[in-house]
Amino acid sequence: MRTWQPSGTLTALRQRAAVLAAARDFFSERGVLEVETPVLGHYATTDTFIASMRERQTGFWLRTSPEHHMKRLLADGAPDIYQVGKVFRSGERGAHHEPEFTMAEWYRHDFELDQMIEETCQFISALAESIGAHTGAVDMHDFSELCRRTSGCDPQSATETDWLAAAATHTDFDATLAAQLRDDPAACVDYVVSHIVYPSLPASGLQVVRDYPADQAMLARIHPQRPGIAERFEVFHQGVELANGFRELQDPDEQQQRFVGDNRRRAEAGLPPMAIDEYLLDALRSGLPDCSGVAVGIDRVLMTAGNYSAIDQTLSFPAGN
């Protein structure tokens, strides 16, 4: 039903203000520089599972993350940096999704993955504490071990048939979905992970999933001593993904190959190819310093810490209202 009134209460708005203030205090105390980068850009994400939104008049894309611009700043000599701002993803709407949402993203020079995980959990806990909530203990999970235990699939050796059999154990699985997943193996893996593996995580505490297979590296580097393992992690609370972080890939040739691979998978999924961000590749060729980075969904942190059942309850108004 149409309404002119806000979706969030005054209490939620005050909590949001406290969380945003706590975020900036957190970085100020650590000497991390706040930066702003464009919301509009020439390039969309190549990620098969993230849909970009386009501004019609200029043809520019609304950012799904400030990552590429922030890496360009780092390549030009910027110190540790952070940003809190709006990002946009098409087609995302639900209890945990809005097409427009607030993201905190930051990068730390010479941080090992363990250091980035620790700081990310400290950040989430600090935001929760700013509204009188507590996130509890931190638990670590190896992604491959978690997959084997919950779905029976080993990400290093499972076949397409194995993943499809695991998907078939979920209550939502039917003949239509079976046909879709059979034609799109990457989507089948994503279905098993999102519907079976991640929901098995305990609801209490901060649940960290780390050390993803190389084919799920995104923009993370491959571990130099563990071939086939990407230095990537995610953080969950109450079953909701809050953070996605990497030890950042510095190799421009490898990054270009991943963009090409993304577009190949897009074609297989019937999606249009996306232009490759040459600015980012040029920055990597110039030299990205050794660093780790992470993105945290502020709205989701507020939702879980404030015990809200849907993300729009943390907003003044949902997108389009």
Question: Domain coordinates of the chain in residue numbers?
Answer: 10-135+275-314
For residue range 221-276, list pLDDT tens digits in order.
999 999 899 999 999 999 999 999 999 999 999 999 999 999 999 998 899 999 99
Sign of CA pseudo-dihedral 89, 249, 194, 155 = positive
How far apart are alpha carbons 248 and 230 in whole angstroms?
Answer: 10
Task: Report the run of H or E that residue 107 belongs to, with start and end.
Answer: strand 100-109
Q: How far apart are the first and last CA of the chain?
A: 11
pTM of the model: 0.94
Q: Give the pLDDT confidence of 206-217 residue by residue, as tens digits.
A: 999 999 999 899
CATH superfamily name and code, 10-135+275-314? Bira Bifunctional Protein; Domain 2 (3.30.930.10)
Q: What is the pLDDT of residues 88-101, one digit of tens each?
A: 999 768 889 999 99
Indicate the pLDDT class of residue 104, thresholds 50, 70 and 90. Answer: very high
